[in-house]
């Protein structure tokens, strides 16, 4: 559920960056955007506005969340707005063209709705939100449905929860900023951001949340002893770790380290974020473990980049520091070469002087 709210928040930010600009530059033009999510990146991004900034904004705002939610799946994304840019709708379809996610934002009335469907296209959860203008998305109403389409009484989903061997009631004997529900073996919470989860648990004990699918763990969250670090792991149907994420706060900033893995266990990609933007190293590896790309970011801006060939050998480098290090190195080499040249010249002069001296002495002695 947290990831659904996260993609809704980032979609809101994306809309504000795209449609606010388009509202000033176009005259009552309905915007249509489509893209394909494949191989953990967006492909074939198309728009009727022919705005090159749209591709950049989709990649920047939505890629991190899609990597967390969708992983290696193939999805199609369609985004529409009305002519006044007040109504925005986004739909996500799987490769069978079945809708899995539907987001609708009404900026004029400051409300929205999110619908989540299962792989067969059945509506499972519908969440109405308000106060979308500030990006808070305050839930107003939540409806859940079973696989047959029948509405589920949300009160029936509430249950006692066993944590650390102690039985707690719905409020978990502490401050509750949301509601904890139970469906089968899944415990999930609403109305709360990840770093607020610590308020669900008392005495700062280590807690565990797991989501099961066919007896295999596909989602796991673990808090440290002080509830300051959130570790999230996602597994595939074969119980192989595919994604790991560490989220923590430091000096009033939120840091996130995200890792993706190949099915053989090797690291596929490593991201570092600070306050929602790239900050630190970004690494991409081949399936055999060899390095493919190494980038360094600072506050969302690319600082340096190193590319490697298929065998992991260094191929190309880029730096916005204007190669100061290389210039210093080349200057040092120049000075060494100049010193060596000076030494050679001095030696040549000495040899020539010696030869002239010998010739002079030979001639003088003969006379």
Q: Which residue has the higher pLDDT, 358 or 260?
A: 260
Mean pLDDT, the chain, as a whole number?
Answer: 67
- Specify the pLDDT at position 170: 32
- Specify the pLDDT at position 327: 53
User: Is there a contact between 17 and 59 (Cβ–Cβ < 8 Å)?
Assistant: no
User: Is there a contact between 110 and 131 (Cβ–Cβ < 8 Å)?
Assistant: yes
User: Is there a contact between 144 and 162 (Cβ–Cβ < 8 Å)?
Assistant: no
Q: What is the pLDDT of residues 322-348, one digit of tens each?
A: 444 545 555 556 666 666 666 666 666
Buried/exposed 283-300: b ≥16 CB within 10 Å, e otherwise? bbbbeeeebbebbbbeee
Residue written as tokens 């900050």? 279
**What is the average per-residue pLDDT within 30-47?**
83
* pTM of this structure: 0.45
**What is the average per-residue pLDDT within 143-153?**
75
Q: Categorize the per-residue pLDDT at 164 as very low, low, confident or very high, splitting at 50, 70 and 90.
A: very low
User: Is there a contact between 102 and 80 (Cβ–Cβ < 8 Å)?
Assistant: no
User: How far is 217 from 208, CA to CA, in rounded Å?
Assistant: 12
Residue 61: both structure tokens together: 């705002």
Q: Is the pLDDT of residue 24 over 80?
A: no
Is the torsion defined by CA of 234, 236, 238, 242 positive or negative?
negative
% pLDDT > 70, the chain: 48
- Specify the pLDDT at position 73: 74
Q: Is the pLDDT of residue 57 over 90?
A: no
DSSP conformational letter for 246 = E
Q: Categorize the per-residue pLDDT at 163 as very low, low, confident or very high, splitting at 50, 70 and 90.
A: very low
Residue written as tokens 């969250």? 221
- Specify the pLDDT at position 197: 33
- Specify the pLDDT at position 276: 75
Q: Is the pLDDT of residue 362 over 70?
A: no
Q: Categorize the per-residue pLDDT at 297 as very low, low, confident or very high, splitting at 50, 70 and 90.
A: very high
Q: Categorize the per-residue pLDDT at 49 as very low, low, confident or very high, splitting at 50, 70 and 90.
A: confident
- Specify the pLDDT at position 118: 78
Burial of 203 per CB tally in 10 Å (0-12, 13-18, 19+)? exposed
- CB count within 10 Å of CB 332 equals 10
- The CA angle 140-144-147, to the nearest 5 degrees, is 160
User: How far is 51 from 17, CA to CA, in rounded Å?
Assistant: 12
Q: Categorize the per-residue pLDDT at 282 as very low, low, confident or very high, splitting at 50, 70 and 90.
A: very high
- Specify the pLDDT at position 268: 92
Domain boundaries, the chain: 1-150, 153-239, 251-321, 328-367
- Specify the pLDDT at position 127: 81
- Specify the pLDDT at position 183: 36
**Which of 23-32, 45-54, 73-82, 148-157 shows the highest mean pLDDT?**
73-82
Q: Categorize the per-residue pLDDT at 90 as very low, low, confident or very high, splitting at 50, 70 and 90.
A: confident
User: Is there a contact between 178 and 199 (Cβ–Cβ < 8 Å)?
Assistant: no
User: How far is 31 from 40, CA to CA, in rounded Å?
Assistant: 25
Q: Is the pLDDT of residue 20 over 50?
A: yes
- Specify the pLDDT at position 128: 84
User: Is there a contact between 25 and 17 (Cβ–Cβ < 8 Å)?
Assistant: no
- Specify the pLDDT at position 237: 61
Name the strand (E) or helix (H) holding 69: helix 52-69
Q: Which residue has the higher pLDDT, 302 or 149?
A: 302
Q: Categorize the per-residue pLDDT at 102 as very low, low, confident or very high, splitting at 50, 70 and 90.
A: confident
**What is the average per-residue pLDDT within 223-227?**
50
Q: Categorize the per-residue pLDDT at 68 as very low, low, confident or very high, splitting at 50, 70 and 90.
A: low
CATH number of 1-150: 3.90.930
Q: Is the pLDDT of residue 186 over 50?
A: no
Residue 296: both structure tokens together: 């360094």
Residue written as tokens 């994304």? 77
- Specify the pLDDT at position 71: 57
Q: What is the pLDDT of residues 119-142, one digit of tens each?
A: 788 887 788 888 777 666 676 777
């Amino acid at each position: 559920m947290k990831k659904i709210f996260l993609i809704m928040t980032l979609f809101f930010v994306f809309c504000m960056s795209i449609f606010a600009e388009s509202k000033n530059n176009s005259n009552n033009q309905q915007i249509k955007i489509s893209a394909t999510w494949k191989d953990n990146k967006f492909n074939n991004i198309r728009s009727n506005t022919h705005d090159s900034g749209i591709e950049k904004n989709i990649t920047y705002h939505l890629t991190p969340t899609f990597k967390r939610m969708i992983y290696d799946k193939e999805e199609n994304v369609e985004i529409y707005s009305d002519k006044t840019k007040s109504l925005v709708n986004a739909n996500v379809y799987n490769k069978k063209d079945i809708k899995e996610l539907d987001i609708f934002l009404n900026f004029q009335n400051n409300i929205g709705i999110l619908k989540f469907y299962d792989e067969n296209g059945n509506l499972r959860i519908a969440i109405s939100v308000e106060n979308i203008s500030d990006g808070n998305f305050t839930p107003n109403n939540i409806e859940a449905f079973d696989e047959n389409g029948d509405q589920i009484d949300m009160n029936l989903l509430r249950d006692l929860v066993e944590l650390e061997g102690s039985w707690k009631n719905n409020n978990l004997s502490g401050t509750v900023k949301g509601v904890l529900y139970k469906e089968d073996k899944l415990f999930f919470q609403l109305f709360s951001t990840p770093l607020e989860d610590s308020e669900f648990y008392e005495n700062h004990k280590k807690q565990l949340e797991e989501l099961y699918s066919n007896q295999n763990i596909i989602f796991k969250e673990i808090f440290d002893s002080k509830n300051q670090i959130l570790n999230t792991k996602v597994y595939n149907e074969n119980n192989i770790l595919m994604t790991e994420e560490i989220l923590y706060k430091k000096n009033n900033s939120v840091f996130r380290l995200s890792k993706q893995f190949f099915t053989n266990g090797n690291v596929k990609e490593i991201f570092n974020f600070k306050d929602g933007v790239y900050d630190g190293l970004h690494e991409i590896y081949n399936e055999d473990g060899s390095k493919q790309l190494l980038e360094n970011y600072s506050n969302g801006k690319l600082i340096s980049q190193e590319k490697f060939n298929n065998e992991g050998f260094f191929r190309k480098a880029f730096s916005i520091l204007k190669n100061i290090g290389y210039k210093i190195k080349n200057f040092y080499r120049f000075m060494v070469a100049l010193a060596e040249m000076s030494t050679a010249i001095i030696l040549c002069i000495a040899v020539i002087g010696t030869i002239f001296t010998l010739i002079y002495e030979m001639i003088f002695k003969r006379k």
